[in-house]
């Protein structure tokens, strides 16, 4: 699978999770999220250079959805002319995903019994409260800040998909205390890992590593070929995942017009 095909499959993976609409264009597609206005979840994805007419179609499509124009693409040298074109049209670099993949090699499952899948409303409540507590302001290991409305979206998504294994939430416990969380989304042989976090008071005890590798192990059992996640280079999570066996395959950039 080439990188653009992977990104297309990932976009489909997020349909009904983060993307409420995916609008196909002759040269790419536009993803739209009703509950989140940022370009993280409202963007056109392309794999080629654009002309003025194509860029105007992207801008018109996103403006009709009351979203800022944004273009997401693999950050490779052959698309450098696209970057220059966007910069000339008043776009600026907004963020860059570094796509990391785990080879799925054998992992130590000795403590996997501490990880529990969310199956009930009570367990969902525990997960959400723990998730919220893991992502707070002023945390040097958390570049994302507080969850805000994303927490409500996470609750809504679980209710929508709880009957299947499309998306699975996990809480990790230290004895009887919930201390960390993670999420695994399964689609088209992709096991996408996200929402990994642990309470500050237990950092350094291996809970983040454990709950991440649990998702890798389960992704293999679900029959997925790709066990992956996205981070931003230069952040603590990026370094952390590389230390536990994830390898960078490529990066993808988003340019936003303000």
pLDDT tens string, the chain, 258 residues long: the values are 899 999 999 999 999 999 999 999 999 999 999 989 999 999 999 999 999 999 999 999 999 999 999 999 999 999 999 999 999 999 999 999 999 999 876 666 677 779 999 999 999 999 999 999 998 887 777 777 788 889 999 999 999 998 898 999 999 999 999 999 999 999 999 999 999 999 999 888 889 999 999 999 999 999 999 999 999 988 888 999 999 999 999 999 999 998
CATH class of the domain comprising 112-249: alpha beta
Per-residue pLDDT, 103: 86
What is the 3 state secondary structure string of the chain?
A: CCHHHHHHHHHHHCECCCECEEEEECCEEEEECCCCCCCCCCEEEECCCCCHHHHHHHHHHHHHCCCCCEEEEECCHHHHHHHHHHHHCCEEEEEEEEEEEECCCCCCCCCHHHEEECCCHHHHHHHHHHHHHHCCCCCCCCCCCCCCCHHHHHHHHHHHHCCCCCEEEEEEEECCEEEEEEEEEEECCEEEEEEEEECHHHCCCCHHHHHHHHHHHHHHHCCCCEEEEEECCCCHHHHHHHHCCEEEEEEEEEEEEC
Per-residue pLDDT, 109: 66
Q: Which sequence spans correspond to the domains of the chain?
A: 3-97, 112-249
Per-residue pLDDT, 146: 82
Per-residue pLDDT, 110: 72
State the pTM of this model. 0.93
């Amino acid at each position: 699978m080439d990188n653009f095909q992977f990104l297309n499959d990932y976009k489909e993976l997020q349909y009904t999770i983060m993307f409420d609409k995916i609008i196909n264009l002759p040269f790419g597609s536009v993803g739209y999220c009703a509950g989140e206005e940022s370009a993280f979840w409202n963007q056109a994805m392309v794999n080629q250079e654009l002309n003025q007419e194509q860029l105007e179609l992207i801008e018109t499509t996103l403006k009709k959805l009351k979203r800022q124009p944004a273009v997401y693409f693999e950050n490779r040298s052959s698309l450098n002319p696209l970057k220059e074109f966007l910069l000339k049209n008043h776009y600026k670099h907004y963020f860059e995903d570094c796509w990391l993949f785990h080879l799925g090699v054998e992992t130590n499952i000795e403590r996997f019994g501490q990880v529990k899948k969310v199956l009930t409303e009570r367990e969902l409540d525990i997960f959400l409260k723990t998730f919220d507590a893991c992502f707070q302001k002023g945390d040097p290991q958390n570049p994302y800040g507080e969850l805000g409305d994303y927490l409500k979206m996470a609750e809504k998504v679980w209710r929508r998909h709880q009957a299947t294994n499309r998306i699975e939430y996990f809480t990790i416990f230290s004895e009887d205390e919930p201390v960390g969380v993670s999420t695994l989304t399964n689609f088209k042989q992709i096991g996408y890992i996200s929402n990994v976090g642990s309470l500050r008071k237990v950092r350094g005890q291996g809970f983040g590593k454990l709950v991440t590798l649990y998702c890798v192990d389960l992704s293999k059992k679900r029959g997925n070929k790709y066990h992956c996640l996205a981070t931003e280079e230069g952040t603590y999570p990026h370094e952390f995942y590389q230390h536990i066996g994830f390898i960078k395959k490529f990066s993808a950039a988003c340019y936003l017009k303000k």
